[in-house]
Structure 1
């Protein structure tokens, strides 16, 4: 059981009615709170929740349409995303209870200050290195459309500027990260055909590829619903067409690919997690056709080269700089 869920269950008498658990972990919490429902935006967690509690967890970037009498937000890593989620929940809870739970090292004490906008918050519990806060929503805000919180930046390319649209919670919100910037300098001589942008985020790589190789069939994949929404906005802003999939890791990707391109993720919330990236490398041969190429950027300290060599039988460092390396390998 997630420690945040354990803290909630220490106060279980508060959570017996119609309750929305926003950003809930994929544990047994719904089993302990039979009247509760979930709101999830992580495809892997949603799949696990659906398998155990079919129909009880809503998936997407907007709160479920059905009513609820109280809500708990599991604090996300991103402060911008927390702002959006708190606003979305509080706008539906005038005169009712909104709870916030999170890990101390995840910044729960600072985040709890955001509850002052809605009423007088109070700390209900502190245990398992987590805190639980509650506020009665006396000042219900107007719900803010998610797209109104989007940030935009221009990506100068040799074939014209690309507009990137990022939403709260998406990797490198509002700016180009250094790893992706390095990879953008090394997109030449890629095979044309079926291309996957794995961990697409705001769609920087996928949109750039579609612009540069318009005859390629580009698929963009991310586990996070907010990233998928961002990628779709980026494509629309540039008049580009590509398939965008929300799925949990490389198993959700098509096969028979000519290219896998990625700046693979290695964080989940406040914790470091290399599983999705390492699984991508180990299973890359299953998704690439013969002669297909894997090209990715990663922090120099990550030992990805042996994993790539183990999967594809070859790997070279194409470039490096600013603490990153670009790896290139071909399926024989």
Structure 2
């Protein structure tokens, strides 16, 4: 069980009523709290929770419209996302209890200061390298529309500026990361057909490819609901059409692809997690059509080339700069 869940269960008497667990991990916590419901924006966690607790799980970027007498937020990595989520929960909890739980290495002590906007926070527990905080919501805020928190910026590209809309919690929020910038410089001569932007984030790669290759069908895929919304906003901001889907890894992708593009993630919260990338590489040969191409950027220290060669039988390094490499492989 997640250590944060273990800390909650040390105070289980506080959580026996109608409770909303925001950012709920995919563990057995709901089994221990029979009146609780889960809210998650991670497609993989949602799938696992639905399988075990049907009817008690909600997925998306907005707090579910279900009644709850108290709520607990599992602290996300992004401070901006935490602020949005705390605001959304506190706006529904006037005079009632809001809890925050997180790992010390994840910055729980600093994040707990955000509770001061609603009342007087107090630390209830510290164990398993985690802390649990509580506040009675004496100052209930007005819920902030998510889009009002968007960061909008332009990328100067050879075919004109690209408008990017980023949301709290989305990878490289409010800026272009170095890896994606390098891959944007190496999108020449892509095969026509169906293109997948895997781990799309704010949709920079997918939008760029759709504008540059308008006859291609473009699908953008991310595990994070906030990234899905951001990608749709980015496409709309540029007058582009594309399919944006939420799914847990490459198994959620369409088949018979002409191109897979990715700046693949390898972090989940504060933890390093390579499974989604390894699955992408291992299964690329099954979802690429013959002659289809995978082109991705990765930190130079990550040993992806042997994995790509094992899946597709070939791999070349197209470029290397600022600690990143561009890999290209073709399905024979």
Q: Which TM-score bucket, shorter chain as reference?
A: over 0.9
Structure 2 SS opposite 1:293: strand
Deviation at 1:158, TM superposition (A): 1.4
Which residue does the alignment assign to 2:34? 34
Aligned partners of 1:252, 1:320: CA distance in 2, in Å? 30
Which residue does the alignment assign to 1:208? 208
Aligned partners of 1:220, 1:77: CA distance in 2, in Å? 23
Which residue does the alignment assign to 1:136? 136
1:322 corresponds to 2:322: yes
Deviation at 1:183, TM superposition (A): 0.2
Post-superposition CA distance 1:112-139 (Å, at most 9, x none): 0010000000000000000000000000
Structure 2 SS opposite 1:283: helix
Which residue does the alignment assign to 2:233? 233
Instruction: Give the TM-score normalised by structure 2.
Output: 1.00
Matches within 5 A, 1:140-155: 140-155=140-155
Q: Cα RMSD over matched residues? A: 0.4
Aligned partners of 1:18, 1:168: CA distance in 2, in Å? 28
Which residue does the alignment assign to 1:279? 279
Deviation at 1:265, TM superposition (A): 0.3
Matches within 5 A, 1:48-127: 48-127=48-127
Matches within 5 A, 1:156-171: 156-171=156-171
Aligned partners of 1:307, 1:185: CA distance in 2, in Å? 24
Post-superposition CA distance 1:128-181 (Å, at most 9, x none): 000000000000001000000000110111111110000000000000000000
Deviation at 1:95, TM superposition (A): 0.0
Which residue does the alignment assign to 1:297? 297
Deviation at 1:203, TM superposition (A): 0.1
Instruction: Give the TM-score normalised by structure 1.
Output: 1.00
Matches within 5 A, 1:157-196: 157-196=157-196
* Structure 1: runs of 5 or more not aligned: none
Aligned positions, number: 332
Which residue does the alignment assign to 1:217? 217
Deviation at 1:55, TM superposition (A): 1.4
* Structure 2: runs of 5 or more not aligned: none
Deviation at 1:84, TM superposition (A): 0.2
Aligned partners of 1:203, 1:327: CA distance in 2, in Å? 20
The 4+ residue runs of structure 1 with deviation greater than 2 A are none
Deviation at 1:54, TM superposition (A): 0.6
Deviation at 1:246, TM superposition (A): 0.1
Aligned partners of 2:40, 2:192: CA distance in 1, in Å? 36
